Structure 1
Amino acid sequence: MTKIPKILLIYTGGTIGMVKDFNTGALKTFNFDKLLTHIPEINLLHCNIESVSFEEPIDSSNMNISNWVILAEIIEENYYNFDGFVILHGSDTMSYTASAISFMFENLSKPIIFTGSQLPIGDLRTDAKENLITAIQIASSQEQELPVISEVCLYFEYKLYRANRTTKVNAEHFQAFYSPNFPPLGESGVYLKFSKELLFKSNVDDKPLKVRKNLDNNIAILKIFPGITEVVIHAILSIENLKGVIIETYGSGNAPTQSWFINLLKKAISKGIYIVNVTQCISGSVILGHYETSEHLKNIGIINGKDITTESALAKLMYLLGENLPKNEFKAVFEKSLRGEMREDL
């Protein structure tokens, strides 16, 4: 007899979990215990669904590392009782949270699928139903009683993406997310199709799940712009207890060549601050040394972020800082793909 997959639906907050009170017009939080009342189509899915919500659902703008740990612990506590997990999350910071969860879960062998919506679940034109139904279907997809997906993904508007490759690109369109440097893992049309050759396979070999919860948020993001001043960069690099900086540079990793700029970065690195170079461009990669304007960054020991997104770089930096790696290993570990978040051959 074929085993029926068990899926845990976790609601953290966000638009997807809202319904409109037709008497007042106000949005209120959806009761997920009555999910089948609102979306009877879920009865057609070949799985058993249970749901749990954050005690106090939050707008994703208020998401922080404490909430990431709460979410990780819910999954950890239920990991061996369920075959897959669907996380309902506000779209604004979904790529950040999904990236963080991908790094926090080591030796993952089950699907964790993030989804949300641009319109509330009770809205006439909502995208919530399709996103939710398909995300559950993806999480419950199995072959020979093994999950098709064994990584953290993000599903939105007919596309399944590797979560730590995504970024939100539109505040109004239903197609809100994009994976600029890695193709979709699957697409939903008349049929649900997976690109199996792209799926991430960590060599688990029955290794026990490890959940890394020691995230360190003593970091900053510094976006380079024409006319940026020495005062601004000095102020950021002088923040008390600062441990890491993601520097968003031009094009393929280019930045000003003035001596004051290089000297400030060199001083920060000498103090033990890790500086990661990512591109401001929506797609493409940092290639240090490709132009003269990035050669100096390569020479002082800047970490090459390659084609990683800013969201994923932030999550990875918090994760690795929390692991207290030896200083002489940190750069090499960051520049290695851990969860399929970057190309290594760059």
Structure 2
Amino acid sequence: MKKPKILLIYTGGTIGMVKDADSGVLTAFDFDSLLERIPELRLLDCIIDTISFDEPIDSSNMNTESWENMAGIIEINYNDYDGFVVLHGSDTMSYSASVLSFMLEYLMKPVIFTGSQLPIGDLRTDAKENLITSIQLASLYEDDMPVIREVCLYFEYKLYRGNRTTKINAEHFEAFDSPNFPTLAESGVHLKINHEFLRKETFTEQLIVRTQLDTNIGVLKLFPGISEPLVKAILNTEGLRGLVIETYGSGNATTEDWFINLLSEAIKNGLYIINVTQCSGGSVIMGKYATSSQLKRIGVISGKDITTEAAVAKLMYLLGYNISHEEFQSYFEKSLRGELT
């Protein structure tokens, strides 16, 4: 079998920086000299090509234009490569991995996001392991088919489904978690692939890149003592089409009349409101308690066990298409890319 061809896409972030040994100043890494900097990559049984954003960005500045750029690079090179590794800043990596999972319809090849907490030239960097293993995972083939056929995120010895992840730590190497779905693979002395959790759909259709994202959305995190003027101001935001509400526990919220009435009126006026839990793990089960039954009654959509990052991505994605209210709720409450159980 021919060697797999992997395209490394650098968008920006800590992993693309090197520290000058004398001055300690961080400078951008020249990916054209990748094999010189990381000679271990020569041990991988694959061909590695690289491409960088014209202007690499800090992931805090990630936006729809950047997502379209990433998806466009994958679309243009899709037939020429067997897998893709996206180097990305860790702060918004879960958002990007979630969005790309929806944008890349009929995906049949691996797209693996990775990054690092320390620059690639740092003495104790996690960048080399994350990069090497991500490329190795993207190169895996069985029976002339890629083992991984979805958007993933690899960090600190674990491969996750991208749209199931959230960043949990700004200092530790174990920066990410997938609270409601098992890891897809673990890296140790050997690579352990958890085949039972991988997406196994086979598509005859060609890859379609969906770029119609609507960013007229918001996120509201509930807290005890939240005020009516604040909620009213958010709901009255000009152009707002969708709102993710982070509720308590299994989807519970205050039952104050003003709160329920404001949400009910907004829904009647066409606003889509998604209920996700602000807990790190678990699922929204509307109607389990009286404090969530009213939300269900007025038409709030259940996010089930989706992460806030994936809820934001899915909301942008579905709002980009002209579908009816009934269709919208049906599509949101069912799994499209493995993002919810």
User: Which TM-score applies when normalising by structure 1?
Assistant: 0.98
Q: Say which SS state the counterpart of residue 137 (structure 1) adopts.
A: helix
Per the TM alignment, residue 203 of structure 1 is displaced from its structure 2 partner at its CA by: 4.0
Q: Counterpart of 2:128?
A: 129
Task: Describe the superposition over 1:291-310 as per-residue Cα deviations: whole angstroms up to 9, x where unpaired.
Answer: 00000000011000000000
The answer on 1:12 being equivalent to 2:16 is no
Residue 208 of structure 1 corresponds to: 206
Post-superposition CA distance 1:167-207 (Å, at most 9, x none): 00000000000000000000000101111011012341x11
Report the Cα distance in structure 1 between the residues aligned to 2:178 and 2:153, rounded to whole angstroms.
10
Alpha-carbon distance in structure 2 between the residues aligned to 1:140 and 1:263? 53
**Cα deviation code 1:67-105 (max 9, x no counterpart):** 100110011000000000000000000000000000001
Per-residue CA deviations over 1:240-272 (Å, capped at 9, x if unaligned) read: 010000000000000000110000000110111
SS at match of 2:79: helix
Counterpart-to-counterpart distance in 2, 1:286 and 1:47:
43
- Say how many residue pairs are matched: 341
Aligned with 1:108: secondary structure?
Answer: coil
Residue identity matched to 2:292:
S
**1:177 lines up with 2:169 in the alignment:** no
Which secondary structure state, in structure 2, belongs to the residue aligned with residue 161 of structure 1? Answer: strand
Q: Deviations over 1:207-263 (max 9, x none)?
A: 111110000000000000000000000000000010000000000000000110000
Distance 2:173 2:138 in 1: 21
Q: Are the aligned partners of 2:18 and 2:120 in contact in 1 as well (CA < 8 Å)?
A: yes
Letter of the 2:181 counterpart: F
Cross-structure match for 1:47: 46
Instruction: Kindly provide the amino acid, as one letter, of the partner of residue 36 in structure 2.
Output: T
Cα pair 1:108 1:202 within 8 Å, conserved: no
Measured after TM superposition, the shift of residue 144 of structure 1 is 1.7
Which residue does the alignment assign to 2:280? 282
- Equivalent residue number for residue 146 of structure 2: 147
Determine if contact 2:108/2:202 at 8 Å carries over to the other structure. no
Shift of 1:23: 3.3
* One-letter identity of the residue aligned with 1:125: R
The aligned counterpart of 2:225 is 227
Which residues in structure 2 correspond to 1:57-96 (within 5 Å)? 57-96=56-95
- Tell me how far apart the structure 2 counterparts of residues 21 and 216 of structure 1 sit (CA, whole Å): 42
**Which of 289, 292, 316 is the matching residue for 1:291?**
289
Aligned equivalents of 1:199, 1:207: Cα separation in 2: 20
Task: Tell me the distance in 2 between the aligned counterparts of 1:121 and 1:324.
Answer: 44
Q: What residue identity is the alignment partner of 2:235? A: L
Q: Any idea what SS the aligned residue of 1:275 has? A: strand
Task: Give 5+ residue unaligned stretches, structure 2.
Answer: none
Alignment correspondent of 1:318:
316
Q: Hey, what does 1:331 align to over in structure 2? A: 329
Instruction: Note if contact 1:214-1:323 (Cα within 8 Å) is conserved in structure 2.
Output: yes
1:262 aligns with 2:260: yes
Residue deviations 1:125-165 (CA, integer Å, cap 9, x gap): 00000000000000000112210000000000000000000
Specify the alignment match of 1:159 in structure 2: 158
